[in-house]
């Protein structure tokens, strides 16, 4: 018992001060929101689009990057001879609408809060049932980590619950495999309305690397309506937390400018 | 093991040098090696790939890889099968039980005499009009809808859980046959995570191949990416710099640390010992952040690439890692040692979920689950490749095969991995990161093994005449070990299930691919 008390003293208080204080430091090589500078693209160049594993880069004449498909792998950065694509360490990526995940070098709209009546219901207490539907366990792990003392999701009244009957909504990871489609549908049906759905990770948004495979359905939206998209492969816990807090209206700074660096 | 071609971990063979045995000879070779000589089945799979001495258009080829752990030797052979039926080895030796079910499901081959020939992942056969269970081509195949063992009698009841579980956990379906509180039998049905990885690799490598490998089991990104890189490097004859080998080794051990520490925290949480649960939950993240320090991703995405590494370590990063590992060593030691000194924890860990060494050997368990039964089995020691050819790590074992042993083996490995990483950081060799593209040899086969944190990861790749993948067989350690979890529950209580499950912490997606 004495050792347990000593350990408690040594280990200290480790919960991040975020969002009231600074977020935890991200590593220098962390890849968050991209910056795109279409003005640098040579005529007809498709170097970046050709190497993208998930075809996230639009080759329709204007440079665009779909964060819902992006694996943040930097193949495009390496392939671009002109430095038109770069990844910043901005961890804020979540949006409310699928199309808002497509970056074109303009401002990216960040997730806005739930409408008033839902905020009144969920703003101080949001219980989520997590459903893994073909994820590789990386998204699950970084969703799960928010429950540890480092992040302490409970501070915000957000908890993961054991039953859809206890839940206000679902948090879905994975591309929704054919073998999980029915279970996901049943789980969704078991949540009492009004309910919300959060899709976490490239797989749950677009199918990720598995897009197009007959064994899966290309993301959560194929089965249930999605209210919040949190991109990444997997998203950093900070990205997930930022998205959840924006949804509940606890962080409000509408959109952000993505700097288009000029040469 | 004279019947098979001798090979080494990460060494390419010409397909023509892989003996194609008569079916009876092939079966005799396997039964003799597995039942009488104590060898181990590393991989056993079907392949529709045509090759120089391959099967007729209607048939398939069966390929088996055996390991002689004590002598660090691998042996590989194949046989032709008519594509409809093949005699099961399971009545003679247990190890092929799940491999045969997998081949049956993928290629529609009925294994005659298999005691429990059920689907593994619940998908249609890869060969149209060939189904091991005679299901029509347009049949709807639902996961978990199959035969299960049933016990009947007074006070006998069945408990079914999943696929959606109570925690943040991947989906699987578990059925317990209970007599009062006692579990007679647990049967596990998976397949819910099946994404079709293996089939998609054929014809590659493509720009998606590396992302597939990194997400076979996302918590084992480094382990699987390393097995893949080793396979490609062997087939393409790519050299890898000593520095890349060292950094790969650091990443592999960081992955082991993050998961072992997380597992010990989860085990503590399951017996309601919150101090260790809380500290280890946080410390797991510290190790993930060290991996992110190297490559920007907490799971090591983009770090291991064929030919080398995607990210080099700068001197400043080496310093950061060294100081963080030293701090983590102190904090992990304190957090974990609380477990061994707390009677209420030991009471729950000791003699819970025991797997006997005989069963572990007979089923070919791998990783900490096997080492907890006293079995000296570790790819880093038995089939060393990369950095482990130069740094010899002793195998960490415990001897009771219970939750306590599985926890303790993890603790021993945590200490060893931390020492290894600090040593590597102190003496990183010079050299470039590498990672160039290469052309793979045509008509070849390679067996690539790495020791992931769950145990042996095996990738077997074969190439066609154009040097593209004609078959790519992935065996995650979980594939060997799920049956171990089922056995661990026998004679236990359902209330012990979460604890046993965490003590194995197997991958659902790594099994389901």
Q: Does A141 touch chain B (CB under 8 A)?
A: yes
Taking each helix axis from N to C end, the angle separating B403-426 and B315-340, rounded to the nearest 10 degrees, works out to 160
Contact state of B338 with A150 under an 8 Å Cβ cutoff: no
Residues β-bridged to residue B161:
B174
The pLDDT mean for chain B works out to: 93
Find how far residue A205's CA is from the centre of its chain.
9
Residue from B195, B294, B299, B320 whose CB has the most chain A CBs within 10 Å, to mutate = B195
All residues of chain A having their beta carbon less than 8 Å from the beta carbon of residue B193 are 132, 134-135, 174, 177, 179-180
The predicted structure's pLDDT at residue A199: 97
Residues β-bridged to residue B185:
B177
Binding-face residues of A in 4-33 toward B, CB within 8 A:
4, 7-8, 10-11, 14, 26-31
Q: Which of B212, B285, B310 sits opposite A150 (nearest CB)?
A: B285
Question: Could you tell me the two tokens for B65?
Answer: 């890889």
Nearest to B403 by CA among B411, B393, B394: B411
The predicted structure's pLDDT at residue A60: 63
Question: Model-level pTM?
Answer: 0.94
Nearest to B76 by CA among B111, B36, B26: B26
Residues β-bridged to residue B159:
B176
- Cβ A130 vs Cβ A180: under 8 Å: no
Rg (CA), chain B: 22
The predicted structure's pLDDT at residue A258: 38
d(CA B224, CA A234): 17
All residues of chain B having their beta carbon less than 8 Å from the beta carbon of residue A144 are 168
The predicted structure's pLDDT at residue A169: 96
**H or E element in which residue B482 lies:** helix B477-488
d(CA B299, CA A31): 13
Residue from B160, B211, B319, B506 whose CB has the most chain A CBs within 10 Å, to mutate = B211
- Cβ B118 vs Cβ B173: under 8 Å: no
Q: Which of B281, B292, B338 sits opposite A30 (nearest CB)?
A: B292
Nearest to A229 by CA among A86, A67, A71, A74: A67
Question: Could you tell me the two tokens for B481?
Answer: 């070990």
Chain A nearest-CA distance from B226, in A, is: 17
Q: What is the DSSP letter of B494?
A: G
The predicted structure's pLDDT at residue A263: 29
Q: What is the DSSP letter of B374?
A: T
Residues with Cβ < 8 Å from B140, sequence gap 6 or more? none
Nearest to B262 by CA among B371, B411, B417: B411
Contact state of A31 with B193 under an 8 Å Cβ cutoff: no
Residue from A8, A139, A179, A183 whose CB has the most chain B CBs within 10 Å, to mutate = A179
Sign of CA dihedral B361, B367, B371, B373: negative
Binding-face residues of A in 150-189 toward B, CB within 8 A:
150, 160, 162-164, 174-175, 177-180, 182-183, 187
d(CA A180, CA A112): 30
Average pLDDT of B371-391?
Answer: 95
Chain A nearest-CA distance from B190, in A, is: 10
User: B453-470 burial, b for 16+ CB within 10 Å, e for fewer?
Assistant: bbbbbbbbbbbbeebebb
By three-state DSSP, how is residue B112 classified? strand
Q: Which long-range contacts (CB under 8 A, 24 or more apart) does B120-128 make?
A: B120/B190, B120/B191, B121/A179, B121/B190, B121/B191, B121/B194, B121/B512, B121/B513, B122/A179, B122/B191, B122/B194, B123/A178, B123/A179, B123/A215, B123/B191, B123/B194, B123/B196, B126/B48, B126/B199, B127/B48, B127/B60, B127/B83
CA distances from B456 to A152, B260, B355, B378, B385 (A): 35, 15, 18, 7, 13
**Dihedral Cα A228, A229, A230, A232, nearest 10 deg:** 170
All residues of chain A having their beta carbon less than 8 Å from the beta carbon of residue B210 are 53
d(CA B120, CA B102): 6
By three-state DSSP, how is residue B466 classified? coil
Taking each helix axis from N to C end, the angle separating B497-504 and B477-488, rounded to the nearest 10 degrees, works out to 160
d(CA B179, CA B173): 20
Contact state of B207 with A177 under an 8 Å Cβ cutoff: no
Q: Give residue-wise pLDDT tens across range B297-342.
A: 999 999 999 999 999 999 999 999 999 999 999 999 999 999 999 9
d(CA B98, CA A177): 22
Q: Does A101 touch chain B (CB under 8 A)?
A: no
Q: Does A260 touch chain B (CB under 8 A)?
A: no
For B321, nearest residue in chain A (alpha carbons): A27
Residue from A8, A10, A27 whose CB has the most chain B CBs within 10 Å, to mutate = A27
Length of chain A as a residue count: 263
CA angle B137, B141, B145 (to 5 degrees): 140
Residue from A89, A138, A149, A207 whose CB has the most chain B CBs within 10 Å, to mutate = A138
Q: Does B143 touch chain A (CB under 8 A)?
A: yes
Nearest to A70 by CA among A39, A108, A42, A43: A108
Chain A nearest-CA distance from B153, in A, is: 31
Strands B5-7 and B173-179: unpaired
Q: Does A236 touch chain B (CB under 8 A)?
A: yes
All residues of chain B having their beta carbon less than 8 Å from the beta carbon of residue A179 are 121-123, 142-143, 191-194
Residues β-bridged to residue B6:
B75
A vs B, Cβ pairs < 8 A, gives 178
Give the 3-state secondary structure percentages of chain B, helix then strand then coil, rounded to 5. Answer: 40, 20, 40
Residues β-bridged to residue A86:
A35
Chain A nearest-CA distance from B298, in A, is: 8
Question: Could you tell me the two tokens for A140?
Answer: 């699950």
Q: What is the 3-class SS of B121-183, one letter each residue?
A: CCCCCCCCCCCCCCCCCCCCCCCCCCCCCCCCCCCEEEEEECCCCCCCCCCCEEEEEEECCEE
E strand map for B271-373: 304-305, 308-309
Could you tell me the strand order of the sheet in which B444-452 lies?
B11-14, B444-452, B455-463, B469-475
Q: Which of B123, B208, B310 sits opposite A209 (nearest CB)?
A: B208
All residues of chain A having their beta carbon less than 8 Å from the beta carbon of residue B278 are 11, 148-149
- Cβ B33 vs Cβ B466: under 8 Å: no
Residue written as token pair 């992942």: B121
Strands A169-173 and A196-200: parallel
CA angle B326, B328, B329 (to 5 degrees): 65
Chain B nearest-CA distance from A146, in A, is: 10
Contact state of A138 with B299 under an 8 Å Cβ cutoff: yes
- Cβ B321 vs Cβ A29: under 8 Å: no
Q: Which of B169, B207, B219 sits opposite A138 (nearest CB)?
A: B219
Average pLDDT of B201-219?
Answer: 94
Q: Which of A4, A51, A52 sits opposite B275 (nearest CB)?
A: A4
Chain A nearest-CA distance from B99, in A, is: 21
Contact state of A216 with B196 under an 8 Å Cβ cutoff: yes
Contact state of B193 with A138 under an 8 Å Cβ cutoff: no
User: Could you give phi then psi for residue A183, rounded to 5 degrees?
Assistant: -65, -40
d(CA B108, CA B120): 13
Per-residue confidence at B3, pLDDT binned at 50, 70, 90?
A: confident
CA angle B135, B138, B143 (to 5 degrees): 65
Q: How far apart are the first and last CA of chain B?
A: 30
d(CA B105, CA B127): 10
pLDDT of B384 higher than 50: yes
- Burial label, A1 (beta-carbon count in 10 A; 0-12, 13-18, 19+): exposed
Q: Could you tell me the mean pLDDT of each successive run of 10 residues in chain A, 263 residues long?
A: 90 88 91 89 87 86 89 91 90 92 81 87 93 95 94 94 95 96 96 96 96 94 95 95 92 52 31
Chain B nearest-CA distance from A131, in A, is: 7
For B190, nearest residue in chain A (alpha carbons): A179
The predicted structure's pLDDT at residue A62: 80
Residue from B218, B247, B318, B512 whose CB has the most chain A CBs within 10 Å, to mutate = B218
The predicted structure's pLDDT at residue B2: 64
What is the percentage of chain B residues whose pLDDT exceeds 70?
98
Q: Does B87 touch chain A (CB under 8 A)?
A: no
Q: Give residue-wise pLDDT tens across range B29-51.
A: 999 999 988 899 999 999 986 54
The predicted structure's pLDDT at residue B49: 62
The predicted structure's pLDDT at residue B57: 58
Q: Which of A14, A130, A179 sits opposite B194 (nearest CB)?
A: A179
Q: Does B212 touch chain A (CB under 8 A)?
A: yes
Strands A63-66 and A102-103: antiparallel
E strand map for chain A: 34-36, 57-59, 63-66, 85-87, 102-103, 108-109, 126-132, 158-160, 169-173, 196-200, 228-230, 255-256
Q: What is the DSSP letter of A207?
A: -
Q: Which of B207, B217, B285 sits opposite A145 (nearest CB)?
A: B285
């Amino acid at each position: 018992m004495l050792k347990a008390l000593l350990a408690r003293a040594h280990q200290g208080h480790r919960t991040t001060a975020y969002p009231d204080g600074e977020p935890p430091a991200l590593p220098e090589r962390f890849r968050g929101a991209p910056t795109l500078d279409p003005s640098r693209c040579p005529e007809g160049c498709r170097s970046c689009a050709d190497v993208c594993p998930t075809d996230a880069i639009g080759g329709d004449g204007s440079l665009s990057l779909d964060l819902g498909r992006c694996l943040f792998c930097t193949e495009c950065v390496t392939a671009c001879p002109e430095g038109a694509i770069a990844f910043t360490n901005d961890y804020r990526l979540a949006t409310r609408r699928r199309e808002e995940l497509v970056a074109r070098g303009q401002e990216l709209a960040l997730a806005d809060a739930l409408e008033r009546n839902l905020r009144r219901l969920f703003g101080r207490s949001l219980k989520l049932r997590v459903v893994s539907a073909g994820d590789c366990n990386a998204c699950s792990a970084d969703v799960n980590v928010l429950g540890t003392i480092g992040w302490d999701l409970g501070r915000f009244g957000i908890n993961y619950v054991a039953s859809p009957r206890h839940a206000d909504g679902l948090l879905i990871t994975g591309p929704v495999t054919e073998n999980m489609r029915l279970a996901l549908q049943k789980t969704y049906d078991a949540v009492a309305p009004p309910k919300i759905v959060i899709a976490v990770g490239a797989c749950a948004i677009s199918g990720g690397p598995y897009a197009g495979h007959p064994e899966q359905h290309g993301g959560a939206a194929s089965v249930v309506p999605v209210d919040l998209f949190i991109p990444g492969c997997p998203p950093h816990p900070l990205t997930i937390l930022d998205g959840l807090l924006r949804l509940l209206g606890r962080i409000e700074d509408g959109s952000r400018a993505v700097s288009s660096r000029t040469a | 093991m004279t019947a098979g071609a001798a090979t080494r971990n990460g060494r390419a063979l010409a397909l023509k040098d892989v003996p194609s045995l008569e079916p009876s000879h092939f079966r005799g070779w396997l039964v003799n090696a597995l039942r009488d000589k104590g060898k181990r089945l590393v991989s056993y799979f079907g392949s529709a790939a045509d090759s120089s001495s391959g099967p007729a258009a209607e048939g398939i080829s069966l390929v088996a890889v055996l390991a002689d752990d004590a002598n660090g030797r691998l042996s590989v052979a194949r046989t032709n099968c008519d594509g409809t039926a093949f005699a099961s080895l399971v009545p003679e030796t247990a190890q092929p039980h799940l491999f045969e079910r997998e081949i049956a499901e993928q290629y529609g081959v009925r294994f005659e005499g298999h005691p429990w020939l059920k689907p593994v992942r619940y998908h249609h056969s890869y060969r149209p009009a060939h189904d091991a269970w005679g299901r029509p081509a347009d049949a709807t195949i639902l996961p978990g809808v199959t035969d299960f063992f049933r016990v009947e009698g007074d006070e006998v009841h069945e408990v079914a859980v999943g696929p959606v579980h109570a925690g943040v956990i991947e989906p699987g379906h578990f059925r317990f046959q209970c007599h009062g509180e006692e579990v007679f039998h647990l049967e596990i049905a998976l397949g819910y995570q099946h994404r079709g990885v293996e089939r998609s690799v054929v014809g590659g490598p493509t720009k998606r191949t590396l992302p597939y490998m990194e997400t076979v089991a996302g918590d084992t990104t480094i382990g699987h990416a390393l097995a893949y890189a080793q396979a490609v490097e062997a087939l393409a004859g790519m050299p890898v710099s000593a520095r890349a080998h060292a950094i790969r080794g650091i990443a592999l051990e960081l992955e082991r640390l993050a998961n072992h520490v997380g597992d010990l925290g989860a085990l503590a949480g399951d017996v309601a010992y919150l101090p260790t649960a809380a500290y280890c939950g946080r410390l797991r993240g510290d190790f993930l952040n060290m991996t992110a320090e190297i490559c920007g991703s907490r799971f090591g995405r983009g770090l291991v690439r064929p030919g080398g590494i995607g990210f080099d370590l700068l001197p400043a990063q080496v310093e950061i890692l060294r100081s963080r590992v030293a701090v983590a060593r102190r904090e992990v030691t304190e957090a974990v040692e609380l477990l061994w000194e707390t009677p209420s924890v030991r009471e729950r860990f000791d003699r819970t979920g025991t797997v006997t060494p005989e069963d572990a050997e007979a089923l070919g368990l791998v990783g900490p689950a096997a080492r907890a039964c006293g079995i000296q089995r570790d790819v880093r020691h038995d089939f060393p490749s990369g950095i482990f050819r130069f740094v010899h790590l002793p195998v960490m074992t415990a001897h009771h095969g219970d939750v306590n042993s599985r926890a303790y083996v993890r603790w021993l490995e945590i200490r060893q991995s931390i020492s290894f990483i600090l040593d590597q950081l102190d003496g990183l060799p010079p050299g470039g990161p590498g990672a160039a593209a290469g052309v793979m040899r045509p008509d070849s086969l390679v067996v690539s093994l790495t020791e992931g944190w769950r145990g042996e990861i095996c990738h077997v790749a074969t190439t066609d005449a154009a040097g593209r993948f004609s078959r790519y067989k992935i065996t995650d350690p979980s594939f060997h070990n799920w049956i171990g979890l089922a056995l661990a529950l026998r004679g236990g209580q359902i209330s012990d299930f979460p604890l046993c499950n965490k003590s194995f912490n197997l991958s659902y997606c790594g099994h389901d691919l």
